[in-house]
Amino acid sequence: MLDELQALEQEALAAVAAAADGPALDAVQSEYVGKKGRLSGVLRTVGSLPPEQRGPVGKAANLARRAVEAAIEARRGDLIAAADANLGETEWVDATLPPPAARAAAGRLGGTVHPITALVRDMEEIFLSMGFDTLDGPWVEDDRHNFGALNIPADHPARDMQDTYWLSDGNLLRTHTSPVQVRAMEASAPPIRAVCLGRVFRHEELDATHENTFHQAEGFFVDRGVSVGHMLYVLRTLLREILDDDVQVRLRPSYFPFVEPGFEMDVTFRGKWMELLGCGMVHPYVLEQGGIDPSVYSGFAFGLGIDRLVMLKHGVEDVRHFMGGDLRFLRQFAGGLEG
Ligand code: PHE
């Protein structure tokens, strides 16, 4: 009996050592020392042994069970430590992947290009084909670039046209992309042909046509002899590419402090005239502020709301959808923006 017990203990210890992971160890545990385990079974038979054997066999069986239990705990500790050491290999996730459900339904639920980004890319390509550079400018601007150098001094009522987020250090979130005109003129000499497509911010009451964060495309061309005719050509080409081959455009006189003369441009779209953008000839004061001699050079500039253009093109009825983060809205553009 005692020999049998010893053999069983050896067998159990070998099985513990061979258990390669937690579940395997659990199986060994229940086979030998679980309630219905083989060592427990021996202990249960002790009562039916001849009285002189009960003491030694009971003692040996208890010792064997304790030895196996101790080996199991030690093995469990080793397995956990080994798994922890490998955590970097076994448990890493690629945080840039879409979640599993999205991956499973790839195509329908996978990532999509935001409709604003899609139009920005299209427009940049069109401008590039007309010889324009694309520029970036800072979102946090200073008063001079956003207002002063654009002929909007501190007490000018035109400041009220653009409700501003002021920062505590006196800077502001740019209210339009026009400061990039000034930065481009400061940084280079004519001819300058550039566009800046980017985010702008206004402290607006939000409604279906007003967002506090939206997107503009600024374009400008400064050289000798630049005229309104050049501007018309560039804008008409752009709008025909984006909207429709037979878009008509017209200019109406309008006022922006940084252009003279200034205009509003309308386009025909699906049979109706729509007001679309502001434009004009760069004001001589603005050229001077950019370090360019207005007696030698002239330029045109325009600024156009990208969100509004996407709304027009795709029948989006509420500008707040663009920054709202509702995937049901964004997924509608999953197939791309053509058609
Ligand atoms: N910056 C003007 C706006 O945001 C648009 C504009 C740009 C007008 C360039 C004329 C010339 O309203």
CA distances from 9 to 27, 36, 39 (A): 16, 16, 8
What's the rounded mean pLDDT across residues 308-312?
A: 92
Question: Looking at ligand 1, which residue's alpha carbon is closest to its atom 6?
Answer: 303
The pLDDT tens digits of the residues spanning 4-44 come to: 889 999 999 999 999 999 899 999 999 999 888 898 888 88
Pocket of ligand 1 contains residue 214 by CB under 6 Å: no
Query: Is residue 183 pLDDT above 80, yes or no?
Result: yes
Residue 1: what pLDDT?
78
Residue 108: what pLDDT?
54
Backbone angles phi, psi at 190, to 5 degrees: -60, 155
pLDDT band at 338 (very low <50, low <70, confident <90, very high): very low
Question: Looking at ligand 1, which residue's alpha carbon is closest to its atom 4?
Answer: 176
CA of 114 to the centre of ligand 1 (A): 24
Atom of ligand 1 nearest to the CA of 262: 10
**Of 18-22, 256-260, 297-301, which gets the smallest average pLDDT?**
18-22
Query: Is the distance from CB of 324 to CB of 134 less than 8 angstroms?
Result: no
Pocket of ligand 1 contains residue 221 by CB under 6 Å: no
SS (H, E, C) 7-62: HHHHHHHHHHHHCCCHHHHHHHHHHHCCCCCHHHHHHHHHHHCCHHHHHHHHHHHH
Q: Give the CB-side neighbour count of residue 241, counting CA atoms within 13 A.
A: 18
| Pick from 220, 223, 230, 124: nearest CA to 181 | 220
Q: How far apart are CA 73 and CA 312, in angstroms?
A: 69
Pocket of ligand 1 contains residue 278 by CB under 6 Å: yes
Q: How far apart are CA 111 and CA 163, in angstroms?
A: 34
Residue 336: what pLDDT?
53
What's the rounded mean pLDDT across residues 66-85?
A: 90
Query: Is the distance from CB of 297 to CB of 223 less than 8 angstroms?
Result: yes
Which DSSP letter does residue 210 get? B
Q: How far apart are CA 223 and CA 190, in angstroms?
A: 5
Residue at token pair 């922006």: 256
| Pick from 164, 167, 169, 160: nearest CA to 146 | 164
Atom of ligand 1 nearest to the CA of 303: 7
Report the percentage of the chain scoring pLDDT > 90.
Answer: 65
Q: How far apart are CA 36 and CA 253, in angstroms?
A: 95
For 190, the token pair is 């004519």
**Of 2-16, 77-91, 140-154, 284-298, which gets the smallest average pLDDT?**
77-91
Residue ranges of the alpha helices (H) in 115-196? 115-129, 143-146, 179-187
**Of 96-105, 149-158, 301-310, which gets the smallest average pLDDT?**
96-105
- Options 3.10.180.10, 3.90.280.10, 3.30.930.10, 3.30.70.100; CATH of 115-333: 3.30.930.10
What's the rounded mean pLDDT across residues 293-316?
A: 95
pLDDT band at 310 (very low <50, low <70, confident <90, very high): very high
The pLDDT tens digits of the residues spanning 311-328 come to: 988 999 999 999 998 888
Query: Is residue 87 pLDDT above 60, yes or no?
Result: yes
Count Cβ atoms within 10 A of the Cβ of residue 285 and give its class: 0-12 exposed, 13-18 middle, 19 or more buried: middle
CA of 233 to the centre of ligand 1 (A): 18
For 264, the token pair is 């509003």
What is the maximum span of the chain, computed from C-alpha positions, in angstroms? Answer: 123
| Pick from 231, 58, 252: nearest CA to 130 | 231
- Mean pLDDT taken over the chain: 90
